[in-house]
């Protein structure tokens, strides 16, 4: 027994009959995250489904030298024979790859864990689609970093001149639709600083405000009044001492999946399919023998750049 001297104070009582802390009754707070959802941009097109095709590679065909690319031949004489014209055909390919994610939790943790703490296997499992979206984003960034042609330089910071070069590349390639530009947050910072130094911006308060305004959002429409959408993400690949940002029109990067709706898994009662993402999530039978529960998620997706005959594709590079 411990003597509590009057008056009975919290300081004396807490260590005997209370807790040094309890958890606040609110949702668990998640760490800062790169939450860019590339699907929201609408520029990475779903081009096919591998399921039931008999292959791991899809071809996306394109053609040219027809329609707007082919004019009538002048006929000098009313009885001239018209020679048939050739056409161009080509294709790009997408190959499927498989990804996996799993978590596990012991039975003891389930039993002894504090009620309502918010961290358990089911809650984590419910976040698998977010992990898939993050994977989607990083794979799109890899494909963007593989674009053959670049504007900017690996030895300098990003500037308005680079931005204008990028815009010109799309404007000069007639038929290109407005690109979406994906870049590292550092690249956006440098670009904004370069815009701020532009003489035009120094005498236009609206323009300056646009550059000075806090931009926590990861998708910015009409960046600097250019009409282009800028998306920022930490997933931009760094290579050769440079950020490998990239720009492409809608469809310039495509993806394909293997729909999982028809998949017969080992434990159907503990499985969930998300066919449109090519995902299967299942509780793994047999892990109970080790006093634990485990789920595994698998996805079958492929990503690839479109043909440069059809799309304008550019990397936007600047020094790290």
Partner 1 sequence: MAVPTKQTAAPPAPGMDLVALMDRTQSSAEVDEVRINAKPGWPFLLRCHPTQWEIATEGLDEPTALPIVMRQTLAVGCDGVRTLSKNERHKPSLAYEKAVYDSERRGFIYPPMTVEDPKHIPAGMGPGLIQYKYKCSHPRKGSGTYYGEIWDVPQQTAPGKPQRFRRDNAAFNRWRLDLVRSGIVPDIDDATFSELVHRAHGRLRRAMTVRHSTAEVHEDIVMEKRELVDIVEAMVTPMGAAPETSTRRSLSMTRAQLNTLAESLGIVDAQKLPSKAAVKAAIAEAREVASE
* Residue 66 vs 142, nearer CB to partner 1: 142
- Number of residues that make up the chain: 320
* Residue 155 vs 221, nearer CB to partner 1: 155
* Residue 283 vs 306, nearer CB to partner 1: 306
Tokens of residue 219, six digits: 């998708």
The answer to whether residue 309 forms part of the interface with partner 1 (CB under 8 A) is no
Residue from 13, 28, 98, 212 in contact with partner 1 (CB under 8 A): 98
Interacting stretch for partner 1, rule CB under 8 A, among 7-15, 72-80, 110-118, 296-304?
296-304
Residue from 49, 56, 105, 109 in contact with partner 1 (CB under 8 A): 56
Interacting stretch for partner 1, rule CB under 8 A, among 11-19, 93-101, 170-178, 216-224?
93-101
The answer to whether residue 303 forms part of the interface with partner 1 (CB under 8 A) is yes
The answer to whether residue 33 forms part of the interface with partner 1 (CB under 8 A) is yes
Residues 159-198 binding partner 1 (CB under 8 A) are 161, 164-165, 197
Per the CB < 8 A criterion, the answer to whether 60 and 92 are in contact is yes
Residue from 118, 225, 227, 241 in contact with partner 1 (CB under 8 A): 241
In angstroms, the CA 257 to CA 237 distance is 23
CB of 197 to partner 1, least distance (A): 5
Taking each helix axis as running N to C, give the angle between helix 185-197 and helix 160-172, from 0 to 180 degrees, rounded to the nearest 10. Answer: 100
The answer to whether residue 301 forms part of the interface with partner 1 (CB under 8 A) is yes
Residues 60-89 binding partner 1 (CB under 8 A) are none
Residue from 93, 108, 110, 221 in contact with partner 1 (CB under 8 A): 93
Per the CB < 8 A criterion, the answer to whether 163 and 226 are in contact is yes
Interacting stretch for partner 1, rule CB under 8 A, among 16-24, 148-156, 269-277, 280-288?
148-156
* Residue 65 vs 161, nearer CB to partner 1: 161
* Residue 12 vs 51, nearer CB to partner 1: 51
Place of tokens 């950020």: 243
The answer to whether residue 237 forms part of the interface with partner 1 (CB under 8 A) is yes
The residues binding partner 1 (CB under 8 A) are 31-34, 56-57, 93, 95-99, 138-139, 142-143, 145-146, 148-150, 153-155, 161, 164-165, 197, 199-200, 202-203, 234-235, 237-241, 244, 301-305, 315, 319-320
């Amino acid at each position: 027994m411990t003597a509590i001297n009057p008056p009975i104070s919290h300081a004396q009582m807490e260590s005997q009959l209370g807790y040094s802390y309890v958890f606040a009754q609110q949702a668990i707070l998640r760490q800062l995250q790169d939450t860019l959802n590339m699907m929201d941009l609408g520029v990475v097109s779903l081009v096919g489904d591998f399921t039931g095709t008999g292959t791991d590679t899809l071809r996306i065909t394109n053609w040219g030298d027809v329609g707007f690319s082919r004019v009538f031949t002048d006929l000098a004489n009313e009885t001239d024979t018209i020679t048939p014209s050739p056409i161009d055909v080509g294709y790009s390919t997408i190959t499927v790859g498989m990804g996996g994610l799993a978590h596990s939790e012991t039975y003891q943790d389930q039993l002894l864990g504090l009620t309502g703490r918010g961290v358990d296997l089911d809650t984590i499992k419910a976040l698998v689609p977010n992990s898939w979206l993050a994977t989607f984003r990083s794979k799109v960034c890899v494909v963007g970093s593989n674009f053959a042609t670049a504007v900017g330089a690996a030895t300098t910071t990003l500037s308005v001149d680079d931005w204008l070069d990028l815009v010109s590349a799309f404007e000069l390639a007639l038929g290109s639709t407005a690109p979406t530009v994906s870049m590292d947050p550092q690249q956006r910072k440098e670009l904004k600083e370069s815009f701020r130094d532009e003489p035009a911006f120094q005498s236009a308060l609206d323009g300056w405000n646009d550059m000075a305004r806090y931009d926590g959002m990861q998708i910015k429409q009409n960046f600097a009044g250019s009409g282009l959408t800028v998306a920022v993400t930490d997933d931009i690949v760094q290579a050769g001492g440079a950020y490998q940002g990239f720009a492409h029109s809608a469809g310039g990067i495509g993806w394909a999946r293997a729909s999982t709706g028809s998949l017969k898994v080992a434990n159907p009662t503990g499985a969930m399919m998300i066919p449109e993402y090519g995902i299967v999530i299942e509780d793994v039978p047999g892990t109970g023998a080790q006093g634990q529960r485990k789920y595994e998620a698998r996805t079958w997706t492929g990503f690839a750049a479109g043909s440069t005959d059809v799309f304008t594709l550019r990397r936007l590079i600047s020094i790290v």
